Protein backbone atom coordinates (compact mmCIF):
# COMPACT_ATOMS: atom_id res chain seq x y z
CA UNK A 1 0.00 0.00 0.00
CA UNK A 2 2.98 2.33 0.45
CA UNK A 3 3.23 2.59 -3.37
CA UNK A 4 -0.25 4.11 -3.62
CA UNK A 5 0.71 7.75 -3.92
CA UNK A 6 -1.91 10.53 -4.28
CA UNK A 7 -0.75 11.11 -7.87
CA UNK A 8 -1.29 7.46 -8.77
CA UNK A 9 -4.76 7.46 -7.20
CA UNK A 10 -5.72 10.62 -9.09
CA UNK A 11 -4.45 9.22 -12.40
CA UNK A 12 -6.37 6.01 -11.82
CA UNK A 13 -9.50 8.00 -11.02
CA UNK A 14 -9.22 9.96 -14.28
CA UNK A 15 -8.72 6.63 -16.06
CA UNK A 16 -11.98 5.51 -14.49
CA UNK A 17 -13.74 8.64 -15.75
CA UNK A 18 -12.50 7.90 -19.29
CA UNK A 19 -13.78 4.32 -19.01
CA UNK A 20 -17.03 5.62 -17.55
CA UNK A 21 -17.44 7.91 -20.57
CA UNK A 22 -17.80 4.84 -22.82
CA UNK A 23 -20.21 3.24 -20.34
CA UNK A 24 -22.23 6.46 -20.21
CA UNK A 25 -22.58 6.68 -23.99
CA UNK A 26 -23.73 3.07 -24.18
CA UNK A 27 -26.22 3.54 -21.35
CA UNK A 28 -27.57 6.74 -22.94
CA UNK A 29 -28.44 4.78 -26.09
CA UNK A 30 -30.09 2.04 -24.03
CA UNK A 31 -32.01 4.60 -21.95
CA UNK A 32 -33.24 6.46 -25.01
CA UNK A 33 -34.65 3.29 -26.54
CA UNK A 34 -36.12 1.96 -23.30
CA UNK A 35 -37.46 5.34 -22.20
CA UNK A 36 -39.36 5.91 -25.43
CA UNK A 37 -40.17 2.42 -26.73
CA UNK A 38 -39.99 0.35 -23.51
CA UNK A 39 -37.77 -2.02 -25.50
CA UNK A 40 -34.89 -3.73 -23.68
CA UNK A 41 -32.41 -3.78 -26.56
CA UNK A 42 -30.20 -6.84 -26.14
CA UNK A 43 -28.53 -6.08 -29.48
CA UNK A 44 -27.01 -2.89 -28.08
CA UNK A 45 -23.61 -4.49 -27.48
CA UNK A 46 -23.64 -5.83 -31.04
CA UNK A 47 -24.32 -2.32 -32.40
CA UNK A 48 -21.36 -1.12 -30.30
CA UNK A 49 -19.25 -3.83 -31.94
CA UNK A 50 -20.49 -2.92 -35.44
CA UNK A 51 -19.57 0.73 -34.83
CA UNK A 52 -16.08 -0.26 -33.68
CA UNK A 53 -15.50 -2.44 -36.78
CA UNK A 54 -16.83 0.21 -39.16
CA UNK A 55 -14.71 2.88 -37.47
CA UNK A 56 -11.51 0.83 -37.78
CA UNK A 57 -12.39 -0.18 -41.37
CA UNK A 58 -13.02 3.37 -42.58
CA UNK A 59 -9.95 4.63 -40.73
CA UNK A 60 -7.85 2.07 -42.57
CA UNK A 61 -9.59 2.87 -45.86
CA UNK A 62 -9.35 6.66 -45.71
CA UNK A 63 -6.74 7.37 -43.04
CA UNK A 64 -9.14 9.98 -41.65
CA UNK A 65 -10.24 9.33 -38.07
CA UNK A 66 -12.67 12.27 -38.04
CA UNK A 67 -14.46 10.96 -41.12
CA UNK A 68 -14.78 7.50 -39.60
CA UNK A 69 -16.10 9.12 -36.40
CA UNK A 70 -19.02 10.48 -38.45
CA UNK A 71 -19.61 7.77 -41.05
CA UNK A 72 -19.48 4.69 -38.78
CA UNK A 73 -22.22 5.87 -36.34
CA UNK A 74 -24.40 6.96 -39.27
CA UNK A 75 -24.19 3.52 -40.88
CA UNK A 76 -24.81 1.85 -37.51
CA UNK A 77 -27.84 4.09 -37.04
CA UNK A 78 -29.18 3.12 -40.47
CA UNK A 79 -28.86 -0.56 -39.52
CA UNK A 80 -30.80 0.29 -36.36
CA UNK A 81 -33.51 2.03 -38.39
CA UNK A 82 -33.91 -1.04 -40.59
CA UNK A 83 -33.99 -3.35 -37.56
CA UNK A 84 -36.72 -1.26 -35.90
CA UNK A 85 -38.85 -0.97 -39.03
CA UNK A 86 -38.81 -4.59 -40.14
CA UNK A 87 -38.06 -6.58 -36.98
CA UNK A 88 -38.96 -4.70 -33.79
CA UNK A 89 -42.02 -2.72 -34.92
CA UNK A 90 -44.24 -5.74 -35.66
CA UNK A 91 -43.76 -6.82 -32.03
CA UNK A 92 -45.08 -3.64 -30.37
CA UNK A 93 -47.98 -4.35 -28.07
CA UNK A 94 -47.11 -8.02 -27.59
CA UNK A 95 -45.30 -7.60 -24.28
CA UNK A 96 -41.74 -6.72 -23.34
CA UNK A 97 -40.44 -10.29 -23.79
CA UNK A 98 -40.92 -10.39 -27.56
CA UNK A 99 -38.61 -7.53 -28.61
CA UNK A 100 -36.16 -8.60 -25.89
CA UNK A 101 -35.85 -12.09 -27.39
CA UNK A 102 -35.75 -10.72 -30.92
CA UNK A 103 -32.92 -8.29 -30.17
CA UNK A 104 -31.09 -11.06 -28.32
CA UNK A 105 -31.20 -13.13 -31.51
CA UNK A 106 -30.34 -10.10 -33.65
CA UNK A 107 -27.13 -9.62 -31.67
CA UNK A 108 -25.90 -13.07 -32.68
CA UNK A 109 -26.88 -12.46 -36.29
CA UNK A 110 -24.81 -9.26 -36.32
CA UNK A 111 -21.87 -11.07 -34.71
CA UNK A 112 -21.97 -13.80 -37.36
CA UNK A 113 -22.27 -11.26 -40.19
CA UNK A 114 -19.20 -9.41 -38.91
CA UNK A 115 -17.32 -12.71 -38.56
CA UNK A 116 -18.17 -13.55 -42.18
CA UNK A 117 -17.00 -10.15 -43.47
CA UNK A 118 -13.97 -9.37 -41.29
CA UNK A 119 -12.98 -12.79 -39.95
CA UNK A 120 -13.12 -14.27 -36.46
CA UNK A 121 -9.91 -12.62 -35.22
CA UNK A 122 -11.10 -9.07 -35.76
CA UNK A 123 -9.18 -6.00 -36.90
CA UNK A 124 -6.06 -4.32 -35.48
CA UNK A 125 -6.76 -0.90 -34.01
CA UNK A 126 -4.53 1.94 -32.89
CA UNK A 127 -4.78 5.46 -31.54
CA UNK A 128 -5.15 8.12 -34.27
CA UNK A 129 -1.85 9.90 -34.93
CA UNK A 130 -3.26 13.32 -34.02
CA UNK A 131 -4.34 12.07 -30.58
CA UNK A 132 -1.24 10.17 -29.50
CA UNK A 133 0.98 11.23 -26.65
CA UNK A 134 0.27 12.35 -23.12
CA UNK A 135 -0.76 15.52 -21.30
CA UNK A 136 0.66 16.72 -18.00
CA UNK A 137 -2.29 17.14 -15.62
CA UNK A 138 -0.13 18.45 -12.79
CA UNK A 139 -0.23 15.19 -10.84
CA UNK A 140 1.03 13.02 -13.70
CA UNK A 141 0.93 12.42 -17.43
CA UNK A 142 -2.30 11.09 -18.91
CA UNK A 143 -2.95 9.76 -22.44
CA UNK A 144 -4.29 12.48 -24.75
CA UNK A 145 -6.74 10.10 -26.41
CA UNK A 146 -8.47 9.26 -23.12
CA UNK A 147 -8.90 12.97 -22.41
CA UNK A 148 -10.40 13.32 -25.88
CA UNK A 149 -12.75 10.45 -25.02
CA UNK A 150 -14.00 12.32 -21.94
CA UNK A 151 -14.42 15.56 -23.90
CA UNK A 152 -16.21 13.87 -26.82
CA UNK A 153 -18.66 12.20 -24.43
CA UNK A 154 -19.35 15.53 -22.71
CA UNK A 155 -20.10 17.12 -26.10
CA UNK A 156 -22.46 14.31 -27.11
CA UNK A 157 -24.29 14.51 -23.77
CA UNK A 158 -24.63 18.30 -24.11
CA UNK A 159 -25.85 18.04 -27.72
CA UNK A 160 -28.39 15.39 -26.76
CA UNK A 161 -29.62 17.43 -23.79
CA UNK A 162 -30.07 20.51 -25.99
CA UNK A 163 -31.92 18.41 -28.57
CA UNK A 164 -34.30 16.89 -26.01
CA UNK A 165 -34.86 20.03 -23.95
CA UNK A 166 -34.74 22.86 -26.48
CA UNK A 167 -36.27 21.53 -29.69
CA UNK A 168 -39.83 20.73 -30.71
CA UNK A 169 -38.90 17.21 -31.67
CA UNK A 170 -37.23 16.71 -28.30
CA UNK A 171 -40.46 17.82 -26.63
CA UNK A 172 -42.38 15.23 -28.65
CA UNK A 173 -39.93 12.50 -27.60
CA UNK A 174 -40.20 13.42 -23.93
CA UNK A 175 -43.98 13.61 -24.11
CA UNK A 176 -44.17 10.31 -25.98
CA UNK A 177 -42.09 8.58 -23.34
CA UNK A 178 -44.72 9.47 -20.76
CA UNK A 179 -47.97 9.07 -22.69
CA UNK A 180 -47.69 7.87 -26.27
CA UNK A 181 -51.48 7.73 -26.69
CA UNK A 182 -51.93 11.44 -25.96
CA UNK A 183 -49.17 12.31 -28.44
CA UNK A 184 -50.89 10.16 -31.05
CA UNK A 185 -54.24 11.89 -30.38
CA UNK A 186 -52.53 15.25 -30.96
CA UNK A 187 -51.75 14.17 -34.51
CA UNK A 188 -48.13 13.05 -34.15
CA UNK A 189 -47.08 9.89 -35.98
CA UNK A 190 -45.66 8.17 -32.91
CA UNK A 191 -44.35 5.19 -34.91
CA UNK A 192 -42.06 7.54 -36.84
CA UNK A 193 -40.83 9.00 -33.55
CA UNK A 194 -40.12 5.51 -32.21
CA UNK A 195 -38.29 4.67 -35.45
CA UNK A 196 -36.01 7.70 -35.24
CA UNK A 197 -35.33 7.22 -31.52
CA UNK A 198 -34.27 3.62 -32.11
CA UNK A 199 -31.98 4.77 -34.90
CA UNK A 200 -30.51 7.51 -32.70
CA UNK A 201 -29.93 5.07 -29.83
CA UNK A 202 -28.11 2.61 -32.07
CA UNK A 203 -26.09 5.41 -33.68
CA UNK A 204 -24.90 6.46 -30.21
CA UNK A 205 -23.94 2.83 -29.53
CA UNK A 206 -21.98 2.86 -32.80
CA UNK A 207 -20.28 6.12 -31.82
CA UNK A 208 -19.23 4.65 -28.48
CA UNK A 209 -17.76 1.69 -30.38
CA UNK A 210 -15.73 3.98 -32.65
CA UNK A 211 -14.43 5.93 -29.66
CA UNK A 212 -13.62 2.80 -27.64
CA UNK A 213 -11.89 0.94 -30.51
CA UNK A 214 -8.39 2.41 -29.94
CA UNK A 215 -8.52 1.36 -26.27
CA UNK A 216 -9.53 -2.29 -26.65
CA UNK A 217 -9.37 -5.33 -28.92
CA UNK A 218 -11.76 -5.05 -31.87
CA UNK A 219 -13.26 -8.51 -32.38
CA UNK A 220 -16.78 -9.87 -33.07
CA UNK A 221 -17.35 -10.80 -29.41
CA UNK A 222 -16.33 -7.43 -27.95
CA UNK A 223 -19.95 -6.34 -27.50
CA UNK A 224 -20.93 -9.23 -25.23
CA UNK A 225 -19.18 -8.13 -22.00
CA UNK A 226 -19.90 -4.48 -22.84
CA UNK A 227 -23.63 -5.26 -23.00
CA UNK A 228 -23.62 -6.60 -19.44
CA UNK A 229 -21.65 -3.58 -18.22
CA UNK A 230 -23.96 -1.11 -19.98
CA UNK A 231 -27.01 -2.78 -18.40
CA UNK A 232 -25.35 -2.41 -14.99
CA UNK A 233 -24.95 1.32 -15.67
CA UNK A 234 -28.54 1.62 -16.90
CA UNK A 235 -29.95 -0.18 -13.86
CA UNK A 236 -27.81 1.79 -11.40
CA UNK A 237 -28.74 5.10 -13.00
CA UNK A 238 -32.40 4.19 -13.41
CA UNK A 239 -34.01 2.60 -16.47
CA UNK A 240 -34.94 5.30 -18.98
CA UNK A 241 -33.02 8.09 -17.23
CA UNK A 242 -30.45 10.01 -19.26
CA UNK A 243 -28.94 11.90 -16.29
CA UNK A 244 -28.78 8.57 -14.47
CA UNK A 245 -26.88 7.01 -17.40
CA UNK A 246 -24.22 9.72 -17.24
CA UNK A 247 -23.79 9.71 -13.45
CA UNK A 248 -23.84 5.92 -13.17
CA UNK A 249 -21.50 5.52 -16.15
CA UNK A 250 -18.83 7.66 -14.52
CA UNK A 251 -19.37 5.99 -11.13
CA UNK A 252 -19.11 2.47 -12.55
CA UNK A 253 -15.98 3.42 -14.50
CA UNK A 254 -14.30 4.85 -11.41
CA UNK A 255 -15.30 1.87 -9.24
CA UNK A 256 -13.91 -0.57 -11.82
CA UNK A 257 -10.70 1.41 -12.28
CA UNK A 258 -9.99 1.87 -8.57
CA UNK A 259 -10.75 -1.79 -7.81
CA UNK A 260 -8.41 -2.82 -10.64
CA UNK A 261 -5.66 -0.83 -8.92
CA UNK A 262 -6.30 -2.03 -5.37
CA UNK A 263 -7.57 -5.59 -5.95
CA UNK A 264 -7.37 -6.55 -9.66
CA UNK A 265 -8.93 -9.97 -9.12
CA UNK A 266 -12.18 -8.31 -7.98
CA UNK A 267 -12.38 -5.64 -10.70
CA UNK A 268 -14.98 -7.39 -12.87
CA UNK A 269 -17.08 -8.31 -9.86
CA UNK A 270 -16.96 -4.83 -8.31
CA UNK A 271 -19.46 -3.23 -10.66
CA UNK A 272 -22.02 -5.97 -10.03
CA UNK A 273 -21.53 -5.56 -6.29
CA UNK A 274 -22.14 -1.84 -6.78
CA UNK A 275 -25.35 -2.60 -8.67
CA UNK A 276 -26.55 -4.95 -5.94
CA UNK A 277 -25.87 -2.37 -3.22
CA UNK A 278 -27.69 0.39 -5.13
CA UNK A 279 -30.70 -1.85 -5.79
CA UNK A 280 -30.89 -2.82 -2.12
CA UNK A 281 -31.07 0.83 -1.09
CA UNK A 282 -32.92 2.25 -4.10
CA UNK A 283 -34.49 -0.45 -6.32
CA UNK A 284 -35.39 2.01 -9.10
CA UNK A 285 -31.80 3.29 -9.41
CA UNK A 286 -30.45 6.76 -8.73
CA UNK A 287 -32.84 8.70 -10.92
CA UNK A 288 -35.46 5.98 -10.88
CA UNK A 289 -38.35 6.72 -13.22
CA UNK A 290 -38.66 3.59 -15.29
CA UNK A 291 -40.05 4.33 -18.72
CA UNK A 292 -39.23 8.03 -18.60
CA UNK A 293 -36.41 10.03 -20.02
CA UNK A 294 -35.85 11.60 -16.67
> What CA–CA distance (Å, rounded) separates 47 from 42?
10
Residue 104: predicted pLDDT: 95
* pLDDT band, very low/low/confident/very high, at 289 (cuts 50, 70, 90): low
**119-166 pLDDT, tens per residue?**
998 899 989 988 999 999 998 999 999 999 999 999 999 999 999 888
Q: Quick one: which H or E segment has residue 276?
A: helix 267-281
Look over the chain and give the mean of its residue pLDDT values, rounded to a whole number: 90
**pTM for the predicted model, two decimal places:** 0.92
Residue 292: predicted pLDDT: 42
Residues in Cβ contact with 209 at an 8 Å cutoff, skipping those fewer than 6 apart: 47, 48, 49, 50, 51, 52, 53, 54, 55, 72, 76, 223
Residue 94: predicted pLDDT: 85
Higher pLDDT, 94 or 250: 250
* pLDDT band, very low/low/confident/very high, at 2 (cuts 50, 70, 90): very low
What is the Cβ-side half-sphere exposure of residue 215, based on CA atoms within 13 angstroms? 21
Domain ranges of the chain: 26-122+138-221
Amino acid sequence: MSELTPSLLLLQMVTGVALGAVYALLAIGLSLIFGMLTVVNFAHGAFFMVGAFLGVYFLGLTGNFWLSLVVAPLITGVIGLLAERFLVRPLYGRGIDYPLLLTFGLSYVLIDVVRAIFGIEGLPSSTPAALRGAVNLGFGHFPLYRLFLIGATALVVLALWLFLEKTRYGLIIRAGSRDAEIVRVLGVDITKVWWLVFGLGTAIAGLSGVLAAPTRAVNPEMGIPVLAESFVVTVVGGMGSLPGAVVAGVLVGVVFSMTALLAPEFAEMSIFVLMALVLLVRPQGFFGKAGALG
